[in-house]
Structure 1
Amino acid sequence: MTEPTRRTRGVQRGPRSVQVVEGVRAATLTELTRVGFAGLTIEGVAKAAQVNRTTIYRRWPSKAALLEAVVEPLLEHYDTDPNTGSLHGDLLALMTLIRDNAAQPEGRALITAATTGAPELRDLVRRANARTLAPFRRALDRAVGHGELSDRHDVQIIAYLLFQGVVMWEQSQGVPPTDEDFGRILRTVLPPGPEALRSTPSAPAAGGVGER
């Protein structure tokens, strides 16, 4: 993780430290809702959280660090893999998690801030995307190891397409994806497993994902 995040976690040791961290997170979210990322200031957060500016600067030296502190509890969800017993179930759980996180105030704050294109948020957005993608790749890698998915497929591309299918759905459709939409995405993107591949007559390649 980044240095600001390590500092944030590091101060969560006593009741007062936890209270400060949670107060600053809440104040940052309130200010983001009120003025947006462009209008966010450390001074404004300090005033809303009723702490000194030095308290903010010591732990969160930038607006990006404050936003990262706000969304960290959501990002932590991607550090634990679902254990549904099947690749389809794991991927569906992860897609649902993205949708549910995006609906949270913290998720909305990150999405809205990211759409501003602020250069100072590039690293945060890149890290957030990487952490969100990681469990998809792990699930697909496990499926390859278990023989549930052929090792001839490009799991990185499959993970990326599933991730983008959820992330971009609301932007293009105007509403969050439903469970039925997730099923459609999975049926379209997820290739058949090795057993299905072996039982299907060979055909000329048509430029499929991951083919070399």
Structure 2
Amino acid sequence: MTQAARRTLGLQHGPRSAQVIENVRAATLTELARAGFAGLTIDGVAKAAGVNRTTIYRRWPSKAALLAAVVEPLLADYDNDPATGSLRGDVLALMTMIRDNAARPEGRALVDAVKAGGTGELGDLVATVTERALASFRRAGASPLVAHLAFSGVVMWDQTHDGPPADEDCAAMLDTLL
């Protein structure tokens, strides 16, 4: 006797689904803070979120996809233009937004994952983050070179300094670029 294939409805939408997504996002952040990207497991996230592994795999087929879901709210920030009325004001607002996003738990998780050598697995995500951020600079009217240098200056600042750039540091970098 053969058993009939199990029929599912696929991805669900609605309040319960939204709650599951938020629980998984929160659990992923918790697990990233505890174990880092290298130690992140789907099993660990599922247990922390109180869901089955298949619930996670149905939506996010890899650790990189989980991290992408976690950082999406940060990326959404880059879709909103500052519109301060000047190129300098817009670029400065974007630079401080990048700095502030990197300090949020989601941003720290991404930075830590990349620093820990996850660039191979996270290559597409890093490219997406970079492109969405650079697009916001271009929409503000910055040249591609100014956009790249402003973005990189903020992202790389803590490699040679003790912490993220202060507002004055962002302004000084920008004034040098402009």
TM above 0.5: yes
**Residue identity matched to 1:112:** D
Instruction: Compute the displacement of 1:176 (Å).
Output: 1.1
> CA distance change for structure 1 residues 35 and 16 in 2, over 3 Å: closer, same or farther?
same
Distance 1:114 1:41 in 2: 17
What is the DSSP-based 3-state SS (H/G/I as helix, E as strand, rest coil) of the residue aligned with 2:160?
helix
What is the DSSP-based 3-state SS (H/G/I as helix, E as strand, rest coil) of the residue aligned with 1:173?
coil
Distance 1:81 1:51 in 2: 37
Distance 1:114 1:13 in 2: 32
Distance 1:40 1:65 in 2: 12
- Which residue in 2 is equivalent to 1:38? 38
Q: Which has the higher contact order (CA 8 A, sep 6+)?
A: 2
Instruction: Compute the displacement of 1:189 (Å).
Output: 0.4
**Residue identity matched to 2:130:** N
**Residue identity matched to 2:35:** V
> CA distance change for structure 1 residues 12 and 77 in 2, over 3 Å: closer, same or farther?
farther
Distance 1:184 1:12 in 2: 49
- Which residue in 1 is equivalent to 2:66? 66
Distance 2:74 2:33 in 1: 17
> CA distance change for structure 1 residues 175 and 158 in 2, over 3 Å: closer, same or farther?
same
Report the RMSD for the aligned CA atoms in angstroms: 1.2
Distance 2:110 2:85 in 1: 31
- Which residue in 1 is equivalent to 2:97? 97
Moved over 2 A (4+): none
> CA distance change for structure 1 residues 140 and 55 in 2, over 3 Å: closer, same or farther?
same
- Which residue in 1 is equivalent to 2:4? none
Give a deviation string over 1:156-192, Cα, whole Å, max 9, x none.
11110011111111221122111111111111001xx
Q: Which runs of 5+ in 1 are unaligned?
A: 1-10, 142-154, 191-212
**Residue identity matched to 1:40:** L
Q: Which runs of 5+ in 2 are unaligned?
A: 1-10
Distance 1:133 1:49 in 2: 34
Instruction: Compute the displacement of 1:59 (Å).
Output: 0.2
Instruction: Compute the displacement of 1:12 (Å).
Output: 8.0
1:171 aligns with 2:159: yes
Asked if structure 2 preserves the Cα contact closer than 8 Å seen for 1:12 and 1:18, the reply is no
Q: Identity rate of aligned residues, in percent?
A: 68
